[in-house]
């Protein structure tokens, strides 16, 4: 019956790991058309389901057994919660009559996952199953997307029953606001039109709503530059003339200056995250803020907007675009001049401190690695990442011409995310070239999944940016903890060729800059998986950087320069 529900929800692929109480489910799955991908750890089942969902916008599904299986999903659930990714997690639970008895592999999954999910269910009776599963899919995908968990007892898995199609779900307390207030939308469009220094601040909400085309039309009609957050990269093509890269802690100089100096900030599907805003009081201090979000709780959470709009950003932008098209602003020379000056200023900031690709003759610079990946991707490959230095350099330097290409753990910042997410993405998009970029730390958290990749022959290009350190932690220790490098050095990294070889695919380690381009090309040419271990300069730090607690225009643009010793 469960599989019937999943099938009707259009599920074609489940990432999971079987166990005692899910045996009856796996028995039915044995000859069912839904594909089950056996991962090597449940956490990675959740990450893979996220990768699937992030790459397609469809609901990703993962499955684990009771007890340890379910608790291992938790990181992935929180990750999906933080980044608003629609996934449904199915977990087994001990038989109803054993609940509460500390039975073998029993855990209070329903209680544990309360705060990790948008909603969760405990199904103790067969009659509740179909309703719960269909509700789960509806809740996961609608409104602000998120993870939903359905915990199912073994007796429900074992029970026999005929599936009665659930044609509707009724959640009287679940409000989804989509349209947006017409008057507010009118005000917002007008404000954007009359602004002298307008700026769009677009994020993951654009991706979730599928509103890229509307965003592009809006920035063009309103003639405004746009900063795009880590979660939103690709929602406005990186090559679009109005795009001015990522803002925030490791954002570009131009993006942060633009935020600090704009007079109208049009925030679309963003949540004023601390990594973007820096010191909140100094964030966009001169700006009137228009905030469009589907979740009413995001409006005014961190920054009180002047024009709040609760709605689906796609529909809201469509209406704003319509208004901009119909009601042209009266010609106003002062405004035209102000806009021209604003654009000149923004371009000047871009030219003053661009995001630079650093190269060296003797070592591979991490930025050089990202630039080469960017060259091979051409803005079209799927790129997954973990969290840390490699993530920031990739976000700064790799172009994305479409949404759903850049898949990373943004809000939660989970190490070990990139590799399993790439598995989910490659299953969802077999036609796409997928790069899984990881640091040497995060990669070692995800190593077991090389088995899943090999077993399914997934042609994922695993690129390890190997600096021998937990680079981002080390960067903070260097800058803020007197360079006392405590527990951040990772030695004994395995030989990549042997490691990949042990799984039956190709791998290689390089450390010379002239090897980089040919090695990456070889990886891409390889029809199967490829593990490329790139030894980069160990002591490179990510810049620009906004120190924690500082305003975003108080950026550190580069490493401290050696001070010349005065002649005596």
Instruction: Say whether residue 505 binds other proteins (CB under 8 A).
Output: no
Angle among Cα 390, 392, 395 to the nearest 5 degrees reads 105
Q: How far is the CB of 62 from other proteins (least distance, A)?
A: 19
Choosing from 126, 139, 191, 219, the residue that interacts with other proteins (CB under 8 A) is 139
- Distance from CA of residue 146 to its chain's centroid? 13
Q: How far is the CB of 281 from other proteins (least distance, A)?
A: 14
Nearer to other proteins, 119 or 535 (CB): 119
Which neighbouring-strand residues pair with 153?
A: 93
Q: How far is the CB of 111 from other proteins (least distance, A)?
A: 7
Cα dist. 188→289, 292, 302, 358 in Å?
Answer: 9, 10, 20, 41
Torsion angle of the four alpha carbons 100, 101, 104, 108, in this order, in degrees rounded to the nearest 10 = 20
Q: How many CB atoms lie within 10 A of CB 337?
A: 11
Q: How far is the CB of 121 from other proteins (least distance, A)?
A: 9
Q: Is 58 a catalytic residue?
A: no
Pairing of β 226-228 and β 147-153: unpaired
Q: Is 218 a catalytic residue?
A: no
Pairing of β 530-535 and β 506-510: parallel
CA–CA separation, 246 and 201 (whole Å): 9
CA–CA separation, 51 and 418 (whole Å): 8
Using CB under 8 A as the binding rule, the residues of this chain from 77 to 136 that contact other proteins are 110-111, 114-115, 118-120, 122, 130, 134
Nearer to other proteins, 11 or 276 (CB): 11
Choosing from 17, 47, 52, 137, the residue that interacts with other proteins (CB under 8 A) is 137
Choosing from 4, 196, 306, 363, the residue that interacts with other proteins (CB under 8 A) is 4
Which positions ≥6 away from 186 have C-beta within 8 Å? 323
CA–CA separation, 215 and 148 (whole Å): 29
Site map 163..182 versus other proteins, x via CB under 8 A:
--xxxxxxxxxxxx------
Closest-CA residue to 519 (of 497, 503, 541, 504): 497
Q: Is 415 a catalytic residue?
A: no
Q: Which range of residues in 90-98, 294-302, 401-409, 437-445 is near other proteins by CB under 8 A?
A: 294-302
Identified catalytic residue from 4, 58, 105, 363: 105
Closest-CA residue to 87 (of 76, 101, 100, 95): 76
Identified catalytic residue from 370, 472, 545, 555: 472
Residue 180 tokens read as: 């947006």
Q: Is 461 a catalytic residue?
A: no
Q: How far is the CB of 170 from other proteins (least distance, A)?
A: 4
Q: Is 193 a catalytic residue?
A: no
Nearer to other proteins, 302 or 401 (CB): 302
- The residues binding other proteins (CB under 8 A) are 4-5, 7-10, 33, 110-111, 114-115, 118-120, 122, 130, 134, 137-139, 142, 165-176, 295-297, 299-301
Catalytic residues: 42, 104-105, 154, 472
């Amino acid at each position: 019956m469960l599989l019937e529900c999943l099938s009707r929800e259009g599920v074609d692929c489940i990432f999971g790991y079987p166990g005692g109480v899910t045996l009856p489910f796996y028995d039915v799955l044995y000859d069912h058309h839904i594909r089950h991908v056996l991962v090597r750890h449940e956490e990675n089942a959740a990450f893979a389901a996220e990768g699937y969902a992030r790459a397609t916008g469809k609901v990703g599904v993962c499955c684990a057994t009771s007890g340890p299986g379910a608790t291992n999903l938790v990181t992935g659930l929180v990750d999906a919660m933080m980044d608003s990714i629609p996934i449904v997690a199915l977990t087994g639970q001990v038989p109803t009559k054993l609940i509460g008895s500390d039975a073998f592999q029993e855990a209070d999954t329903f209680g544990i996952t309360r705060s990790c999910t948008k909603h969760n269910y405990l199904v103790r009776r067969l009659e509740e199953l179909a309703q719960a599963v269909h509700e789960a899919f509806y809740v996961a995908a609608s409104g602000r997307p998120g993870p939903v968990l359905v915990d199912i007892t073994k007796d429900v898995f074992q029970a026999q029953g005929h599936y009665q199609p659930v044609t509707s779900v009724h959640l009287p307390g679940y409000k989804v606001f989509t349209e947006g207030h017409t008057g507010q939308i009118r005000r917002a469009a007008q404000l954007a039109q009359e602004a002298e220094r307008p700026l769009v601040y677009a994020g993951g909400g654009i991706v979730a709503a599928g509103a890229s085309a509307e965003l592009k039309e809006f920035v063009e009609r309103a003639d405004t530059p746009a900063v795009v957050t880590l979660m939103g990269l690709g929602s406005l093509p990186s090559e679009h003339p109005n795009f001015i890269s990522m803002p925030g802690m490791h954002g570009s100089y131009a993006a942060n200056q633009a935020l600090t100096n704009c007079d109208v900030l049009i925030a679309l599907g963003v949540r004023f995250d601390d990594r973007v805003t820096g010191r909140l009081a100094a964030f966009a201090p001169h700006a009137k803020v228009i905030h469009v979000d589907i979740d009413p709780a995001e409006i005014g959470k961190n920054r009180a907007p002047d024009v709040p709009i609760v709605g689906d950003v796609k529909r809201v932008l469509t209406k704003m675009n319509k208004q901009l098209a119909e009601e042209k602003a009266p010609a106003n020379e002062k405004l035209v001049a102000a806009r021209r000056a604003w654009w000149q200023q923004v371009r000047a900031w871009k030219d003053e401190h661009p995001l630079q690709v650093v190269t060296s003759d003797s070592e591979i610079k991490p930025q050089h690695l990202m630039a080469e990946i960017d060259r091979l991707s051409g803005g079209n490959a799927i790129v997954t990442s973990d969290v840390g230095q490699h993530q920031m350099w990739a976000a700064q330097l790799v172009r994305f011409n479409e949404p759903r290409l850049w898949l990373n753990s943004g809000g939660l910042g989970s190490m070990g995310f990139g590799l399993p997410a790439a598995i989910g993405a490659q299953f969802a998009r077999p036609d796409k070239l997928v790069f899984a970029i990881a640091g040497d730390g995060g990669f070692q958290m995800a190593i077991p999944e090389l088995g899943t990749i090999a077993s399914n022959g997934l042609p994922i290009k695993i690129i390890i940016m190997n600096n021998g350190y937990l680079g981002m932690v080390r960067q903070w220790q260097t800058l803020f903890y007197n360079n006392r490098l405590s527990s951040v050095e990772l030695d004994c990294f395995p030989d990549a060729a042997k490691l990949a070889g042990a799984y039956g695919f190709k791998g290689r380690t390089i450390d010379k800059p002239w090897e980089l381009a040919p090695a990456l090309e070889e990886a891409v040419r390889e029809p199967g998986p490829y593990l490329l271990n790139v030894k980069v300069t160990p002591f490179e730090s990510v810049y620009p950087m906004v120190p924690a607690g500082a305003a975003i225009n108080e950026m550190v643009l580069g490493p401290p320069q050696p001070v010349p010793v005065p002649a005596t």
